[in-house]
Amino acid sequence: MPRIALIPGDGIGVEVVREARRVLEFVSEAEGVPFELVEWDLGADRFLRDGITITEDEFVSLDRDHDAVLLGALGDPRVPSNQHAKDILLGMRFKLDLYVNFRPCVLISPELSPLAAVSPLRLEIFRENTEGEYTGMGGVTRKNTPDEVAIQENLATRHGVERIIRAAFQFAESRGRDRVTLVDKANVMRYVGDLWRRTFSDVASEYADIEVDEMYVDAMAMDLVRRPERYQVLVTSNLFGDIISDLAAEITGGLGMAPSANVHPGRNVLFEPVHGSAPDIAGQGKANPIGAIRCVALMMDHFGYYAAGDHIEAAVLSAYKMGQVTPDIGGKFSTTETATAIIEHIRVAYAASA
Ligand code: NAD
Ligand code: IPM
Ligand code: MN
């Protein structure tokens, strides 16, 4: 029986994971697969209460005793250092070596995009998840003096770069995508950029049928607004992937719509919506639960329950078409009402396919 750790976290993370859990329970019942769901109390409240972010034993248990993790979001104005988010979220990515951050941004209906005439649009981002500027390597000296110096290193290894590029090409080949685009800043990041470009070209040479191109990240940001339909699979570093995925999410319906999977093939998987804890709307019942619910669809695909994944995606589209969605995408429904509507559409889909 698959065992899933649920980490609601902070702010709207709590609200959207509550709804994603209902969807998960519904499809688990419909598929006749008893998922065991275990709620974890990790987040700002615990940190402020007990001074603990996450323990080594908890990392071990997440990895050893669970088949997947669903996380809402971490980030709280009461913790300006963001220490708990770094320890828990980056901790899981690094310690469990979840080196692929897969972020599919799929436009389900043309008017959902702020851009004109871009349908269909499917941008699948492979964000390197264990290196780059995120390793915490660096330091500060002469702090709080006029001579303060801060250094934050950008780490790239052949091993790390090659495995994420390979993951992107393998995905493109297995899903019939024709183009993989490398996004970097090789005109300035001389050493790191050169390593990425040589590795990209080496791996690309093994995939003769897939078109490749290379874009500087500044031009990519521009082109994602100008002609996003030109792109399919994007592969990029940790920091550029973070930035580009918010942009890609926004042009495909908004941050509330995008799911992600942090993966090390063959090991644990951490699913999380791309958005954060949104303190500006937390506690108001306005958060769009679709990013989190689509994480459940990704999770079903991951476990091989493809019909469940398809039913969830179709139900999201039906709810959207009927206006049964939150205000960020033009509806008047609350977070809970949106999830209830989606579950009803899933129920109809199962009944029709029975
Ligand atoms: P954010 O993603 O939380 O919010 C950005 C904007 O998008 C806000 O206006 C918010 O209201 C809106 N938004 C986000 N998700 C939404 C949803 N589901 N429905 C409707 N509107 C939504 O980004 P931020 O404001 O830069 O960050 C807030 C906190 O979240 C920070 O502490 C940040 O570090 C953290 N964060 C955490 C994660 C994560 O845990 N995976 C991801 C991003 C940001
Ligand atoms: C994300 C978030 C995280 C990141 C933060 C909260 C550490 O923005 O998952 O996109 O930068 O990776
Ligand atoms: Mn981000």
* Total residues belonging to the chain: 354
Question: What span, in angstroms and rounded, lies between the C-alpha atoms of 294 and 339?
Answer: 11
336 lines ligand 1 (CB under 6 A): no
Residues 118 and 238 in one domain: yes
Q: Which pLDDT score, from 0 to 100, does residue 113 have? A: 85
Whether 109 is covered by a domain: the verdict is no
Using CB atoms within 10 Å of the CB of residue 56, give its burial: 0 to 12 exposed, 13 to 18 middle, 19+ buried. exposed
Residues 123 and 94 in one domain: no
Which of 232, 251, 270 is the endpoint of a domain?
251
Residues 144 and 235 in one domain: yes
Task: Kindly write down the DSSP assignment for every residue of 89-142, as one continuous string.
Answer: IIHHHHHTT--EEEEEEEESSGGGSSSSS--SEEEEEEEE-SSBTTS--EEEES
Residues 171 and 287 in one domain: no
CATH code at position 284: 3.40.718.10
Question: What span, in angstroms and rounded, lies between the C-alpha atoms of 339 and 146?
Answer: 53
Residues 126 and 226 in one domain: yes
Q: Which domain holds residue 141?
A: 114-251
Mutate to test the pocket of ligand 2, among 242, 246, 247 (most ligand atoms within 8 A of CB): 242
Which of 220, 251, 282 is the endpoint of a domain?
251
Residues 271 and 350 in one domain: yes
Question: What span, in angstroms and rounded, lies between the C-alpha atoms of 85 and 77?
Answer: 12
Whether 83 is covered by a domain: the verdict is yes
Give the chain's domain count.
2
Which of 218, 251, 284 is the endpoint of a domain?
251
Q: Which pLDDT score, from 0 to 100, does residue 150 have? A: 98
Q: Which pLDDT score, from 0 to 100, does residue 118 have? A: 73
Q: Which pLDDT score, from 0 to 100, does residue 119 have? A: 75
Residues 285 and 272 in one domain: yes
Residues 198 and 262 in one domain: no
What single-letter DSSP state applies at residue 150? E
- Distance, CA 164 to ligand 2 centroid (Å)? 18
Residues 90 and 206 in one domain: no
Residues 192 and 264 in one domain: no
Whether 20 is covered by a domain: the verdict is yes
Q: Are 88 and 7 in contact (CB under 8 A)?
A: yes
Residues 134 and 240 in one domain: yes
pLDDT tens over the chain, length 354 residues: 899 999 999 999 999 999 999 999 999 999 998 999 999 999 999 999 999 999 999 999 999 999 999 999 999 999 999 999 999 999 999 999 999 999 999 998 888 888 876 778 999 999 999 999 999 999 999 999 999 999 999 999 999 999 999 999 999 999 999 999 999 999 999 999 999 999 999 999 999 999 999 999 999 999 999 999 999 999 999 999 999 999 999 999 999 999 999 999 988 899 999 999 999 999 999 999 999 999 999 999 999 999 999 999 999 999 999 999 999 999 999 999 999 999 999 999 999 988
Q: Which residues carry out catalysis?
A: 134, 185, 218, 242, 246
Residues 317 and 233 in one domain: no
- Distance, CA 46 to ligand 1 centroid (Å)? 20
Whether 234 is covered by a domain: the verdict is yes
Whether 100 is covered by a domain: the verdict is yes
